Structure 1
């Protein structure tokens, strides 16, 4: 067992290519996180979700059941990722973004801070998803405009 095994919390899994990857259970949710990934202690990863090598998840981020975060994905803080979402390798998700359940994002996708990706959305490789730039019906003070 590797030196980074914390009280038996690492899990070796053989991939389809025959390579054995080592994951650890994230303390907040129990999701499987590759030992080379960095997930903030304040993030939550559902026990049935995977975070692959080199990925980074920010504080306050929540990853739902059945999600697969591929290699080298960067996710900012306070992001909400619904159930059964797939984020392709090298994707970037900005702070406060929301990704709906069953969404599939290709490799190298960029989701801007505060942007929303709809439930069941399919986003092709290397697409940029921008936030809604329309003015809100409320002012910055939370009263009707």
Structure 2
């Protein structure tokens, strides 16, 4: 029999309680909203206040921080870190080992290539790519 809940004490002594998501068995903090059709890999964590939309796919080792939004149909490759209050638009594809900074906004249907770093507060327009962003910066 597997555990229903996992509790982890953070740096500030605050204990966060996680439950297993029914589709994929990933860890979802109490207070996060993850659609039942989303897939959350067993090694992925979604923090309190975060929202994950319909049919989103969160691969192995992902971490979605507090108050982040992962839109419907989004794909997160392995090891993606989504910063606090970042927004990833519907249908976006985020390549493995990418880091999306706090409060960054990734537009709908955007491609972020693997191993990319999007700075905190940056915006990538709808349908854009991280390559175009890097050239413009």
TM-score (norm 2): 0.89
Contact 1:116 1:131 survives alignment (8 Å):
no
Please tell me whether residue 67 in structure 1 is matched to residue 67 in structure 2. no
The corresponding residue for 2:134 is none
Q: 2:49 aligns with which of 50, 54, 60?
A: 54
1:121 aligns with 2:116: yes
| Mapped partners of 1:8, 1:31: distance in 2 | 12
Structure 2 residue runs without a partner (length 5+):
129-137
Preserved contact between residue 36 and residue 53 of structure 1 (Cα < 8 Å): yes
Q: Secondary structure at the match of 2:17?
A: strand
Instruction: Name the structure where helix makes up a greater proportion of residues.
Output: 2
Is the CA contact (8 Å cut-off) linking 2:107 and 2:127 kept in structure 1? no
**Two-structure CA RMSD over aligned residues (Å):** 1.3
Aligned length: 127
CA offsets 1:57-81 (integer angstroms, 9 cap, x no match): 0010000100110000111111000
Structure 1 residue runs of 4+, over 3 Å off?
none
Rg larger in 1 or in 2?
A: 1
| 1:96 lines up with 2:91 in the alignment | yes
Q: 5+ residue gaps in structure 1? A: 1-6, 134-145
CA deviation after TM superposition for structure 1 residue 13, in Å: 1.1
TM-score, normalization by structure 1: 0.84
User: Which residue of structure 1 aligns with residue 31 of structure 2?
Assistant: 36
Deviations 1:36-61 (A, max 9, x none): 00000000100000000100000100
